Structure 1
Amino acid sequence: MDDGQTRPVVVVAGAAGDLGFRIVTALTAKGASVRALVRRPVDKLNLDQVHQVAVDHNDDAALTGAVTGAVSVVSALNGTAPVILGVQGRLLDAAVAARTPHFIPSDFSLDYRATRPGDNRNMDLRRTFAARVDAAPIRATSILNGPFADLLEGEAPIVLHKLRRVLYWGNADQLFDFTTKDDVAAFTADAAMDPAAPRYLRIAGDQISPRGLAALLTGMDDRPWKLLRAGGIGRLSAIIAVVRALTPDTDAPFPVWQGMQYLRDMSTGRGKLHDLDNARYGKRHWSRAADVLAPTL
């Protein structure tokens, strides 16, 4: 479908990915016309108000043409340095060349500005790219949402169903931020169409500690859930170093040790989100940990 004449046009890179597709869907629901940048047409993107543009990200002229006329460019690209610094960097350059007024980089993370350089590879990449964004003549907005809620049971599982335990490192009362991908997508769609969106927006669907998770699960399950302390932060750091040393080099964005690095930044409180912007666009319902965990009990 061609871009609408009266609808704002938003470009989404990485539109065929998990988060990217959710952002596309949220944008169309909010009245935007989406220009989805893809390597080749994708059946699931054959939607109303979505125009797929097959583009070579190494072709600067084609990439600039693909983003021309948009009110915002949203990057949902996922990867390591070749993607986050390379492909996304060319996307940023194209947005600047096309005089696009707004750029949303693929941050979607805890607050990397407060993490320690060298502690978390993916946060280091975001920190490096942020410096490039800040030097570019374009208004930018980074969405910081803490870990995606599927981390509760995903790459670095915290909820251990078979044992009815909540695994933690360090302090059982350290609050964690969690946000579902659908909530992140809906908020990102609003930010993409907001001409006054600031440089950083912080959101969290829920903020809950390991101790709070154990109490929540006990109440939901009608059976006791207990805490399982795996060790202190020093022990976690030592395990990360060993696992990373034994893992073959990979461009995968989330090898096991990367999930553990994320867990360390959560467990230390570095990267914790403060002064949330949840209310900025009037969104009232945010999925909480109970909503995520209920189907698995």
Structure 2
Amino acid sequence: MSRHVFPDLSSRQLQAVLALAKYRSFVAAASSLKISQPALTRTIKLIEIELGVPLFSRSTRQVTVTDAGKEFAALAERLLNDLKIGAESVRELAAHPRGQIVVASVVSLAGAVLPGLIADYSRRFPGIELHLREGLHNMVMDEIRNGLADFGIGYVDDVPRSFVTEDLGVETFHLVMRRDHGLARRTRIALPALADVPLVSFPVESRTRHIVDRAAATAGLSFHYVTTTNRLPTLHGLVRNRVGLAVVPRSERPLPDDPDLNSSSLAGHGLSCRVGIMRLRDRELTAAAAQFLDVVRSWWRASRHGPGGRNRRYSSGSVVNSSG
């Protein structure tokens, strides 16, 4: 396109036009702009060449604004005002961003870590509306694949090539039991110890159940499951009421001060998994979602070294735990 359709003019040049139209004097206008009079003269001349019309009539005694100059001066004022308002809006948006984020999370993260993190984030960025969708690992992947979630947090082992992953930690597994159970005094329990005890678990299709059953099959074992549930509080409740023992990711073990429940590390080949962030390879994150991820990373790096943080439930990596 011709430069006369889109003139190549800067905000400084527009200010020069307004100043000269206001003061009708090159000396006074140059002083208000804090530039020399010859520099202002050159600037006005370049603007008139760019526009192809004279904006001012000069004489030895005075400067007169032409009709074209009056119209352009009014336009320049509107443009500068719009630019000022737009810049202020952008700065306000940067300081107080707005938008919506949808995160799909495995159950344990949604219940154990995310509430505190989201509370901190919401206080810092009250203009961001954050929706959390929690479920089993397969549901998390479906939410991402269908575009319902900006990104997800869960297991990142063996995900499809259409996904981009970011490792955030390695999850191991614990056996949850009542404090008065015969195995409760052991700090580390081998898989064969579970062969003759009733177990409660996440559903068969859950990744936790898949990992545990695969490890059992590798060891030549077969477990006896009596009840399944997709809710962590329910799983703990079943153990609390003596229905059975439960194998859960380390991040889902009961707190140390739980009056009824205890947990011990479960030893066995293949009883670990990588957890992290998942998103579609061909879908860019929104600015708000990318910002939330940065907050997650920073929060985790800080929390894993802080006193008394829940990060002590994780091994290596930088953000999450896992679930069914």
Q: Does the TM-score normalized on the shorter chain lie above 0.5?
A: no
Greater Cα radius of gyration, structure 1 or 2 = 2
Q: Which has the higher strand share?
A: 2
Indicate the structure whose relative CO is greater, using CA pairs within 8 Å and at least 6 residues apart. 2
Normalization by structure 2: what TM-score?
A: 0.21
